[in-house]
Structures are given as C-alpha cells and as structure tokens.
Structure 1
C-alpha cells in the first residue's frame, strides 16, 4: 500500500458517521440543500460538516473531497 492510500484510509477512519455520509453525498454531486433534506439536517449544518471535512482531510475544497472519497473507496 502506498503512503497516500494509507494516509487517505487513516483520515477516513477518523471521520464521524455523519461526516462520511456528507462526504459521500458531496462526491455524488448533491447540493448542500439536497444533502440537508436527505439527512434531515439544516443546510447550515451541512456547510459546517463540509468545512470540517476540508480541514480534517487537508484539502482545499470540494474537488479535494471528491478525490479523497473516490480514492478511499467511498464512491466509484
């Protein structure tokens, strides 16, 4: 296993269940409003989860989150 995939998998293990759900839905191209409706939370809470994901996974934005989700096997 290369160091990048090891680091990605470790990072994903440190996410809460809700953060993983939000990450998957972001990677599947749902908007914050759509994610909020699906998870029965506010759009503001979705944005908070997104901000926390960006910080925890050390990426710059949504493209980085999608890349991590794909490489981590959360979406195909």
Structure 2
C-alpha cells in the first residue's frame, strides 16, 4: 500500500469518525431534551475522548500528505 493510499484511507476514517461523533452529539441533545440527562451526559463524556484526539489526528494526516513531484525540465 502506497503512502497516498494510506493517507486516503486515514482521511476517510477521520471523516467518518467526525460524522459519527456529530450524529452522537445530536442523539445526546435529543436524549437531553427528553429528560434523561444522565444518559446524555455519558454520551458526551465518551465523545470527549474523540475530541481530545482530533488535533493529533489532523496533525498526523497533514504530515502524510503526498506532494505532487516537481516537473522535470530537459
């Protein structure tokens, strides 16, 4: 697997993780409005781990970006 393939795969995983986290936040908000504050709080607490790793994931993905090679001059 090339570095470009790995970067693409990790970017996709990061995007899906962000999408799932967003959906979980919406579920927590809905549960909160229904009156089950403890359950909503546990969902939000679980999401804090995802949010804590976000900066590291973004930094890693940025460092893996493959630049296009410079054109060769004859």
Classify the TM-score, shorter chain: 0.3 to 0.5
TM-score using structure 1 length: 0.33
Query: Which has the greater radius of gyration?
Result: 2
**Between Structure 1 and Structure 2, which shows a larger proportion of helix residues?**
2
